[in-house]
Amino acid sequence: MKELLLIFISTVLINNLVLSYFLGICPFLGVSGRIESAFGMGMAVIFVMTLATSISWLIYHLILLPFGLFFLEYVVFILVIASLVQIVEMFIRKFSPALYQSLGIYLPLITTNCAILGVALFMVARNYKFLESVVFGFAAGLGFWLVLLIMAGIREELEYVEVPKVFKGASLTLITAGLLALIFMGFSGLISA
């Protein structure tokens, strides 16, 4: 139990996916303009990431390892993610049109979100057990959601600020992310080795 909690806290705050592993930077820069879209994207990522990590674990440990097919790891994982996104999209559209309205447009974007594949690869590299992998996937998604939301909040305010012309747009967003990463470094004191 203690280990699960440790994985959870360190994944959400200390080793945040976006700010310390640079995963999912593209949606982080692209969808963080407005709070509503950031919220929707973040939720979709939490959902898909938890599922994708669990299913990748099962496939890796039950199929790839016993048959010695680990060189197929990347191809299989990316296929799992792409098809999972498709299935989730169809499923949500059928059973919850309201949820589809809010998450639907973000789902296809998730296939190319490197965070999902990254988490699956980290899960294998760190030899997590099944339950640890589920917690890890969920926590990583939650961390992404949190940072995306913070970023969107800051950027909505920044729109009213006058900045030098050359810094407008991507440049300012990157520098803001840098400052945010510095702030999140403060969390590293939470868990002492």
Partner 1 sequence: MREIVKGLWDEHPIFRQLLGMCPTLAVTTSAINGLSMGLAVVFVLFFSSLVVSVMKKIVPHQVRIAIYTVIIATFVTIVDIFLKANFPQISRALGPYVPLIIVNCIILGRCEAFASKHSIGKSLRDALGMGIGFSWGLFLLGAIREIFGARTLLGIQILPQNYDRLIVMILPAGAFLVLGFLVAIMNQIEAKAKK
Q: Which residues bind partner 1 (CB under 8 A)?
A: 19-26, 29, 71, 73-75, 78-79, 82, 111-114, 117-118, 121-122, 125, 164-168, 170-175, 177-179, 181-182, 185
Our CB check for partner 1 shows the closer of 5 and 179 to be 179
| Min dist. Cβ of residue 89 to partner 1 (A) | 13
| Residues 6 or more apart in contact with residue 73 via CB below 8 angstroms | 60, 64, 121, 124
Q: Look at the block and give the residue holding tokens 């199929």.
A: 63
Least distance from partner 1 to the Cβ atom of residue 17, Å: 10
Nearer to partner 1, 5 or 182 (CB): 182
At closest approach, how far in Å is the CB of 109 from partner 1?
11
d(CA 44, CA 41): 5
User: Which CB atom, from 19 or from 44, has the smaller least distance to partner 1?
Assistant: 19
CA distance 61 to 63: 6
Q: Least distance in Å: CB of 183 to partner 1?
A: 9
What's the closest the beta carbon of residue 181 comes to partner 1, in angstroms? 4
From CA 9, how far away is CA 140, in angstroms rounded? 10
Residue 116 and residue 111: Cα distance in Å, rounded? 8
For partner 1, the closer CB: 130 or 167: 167
Of 180, 153, 168, 147, the closest CA to residue 34 belongs to 153
Q: Which is nearer to partner 1, 43 or 121 (CB)?
A: 121
CA separation for the pair 58, 37 (Å, rounded): 32
Best CA proximity match to 191, nearest among 8, 55, 1, 45: 8
Which residue, 1 or 193, is less far from partner 1 as judged by CB? 193
What minimum distance in Å lies between the beta carbon of 126 and partner 1?
10
Q: Please choose, from the candidates 119, 85, 84, 81, the residue with its C-alpha nearest in 3D space to the C-alpha of residue 104.
A: 85
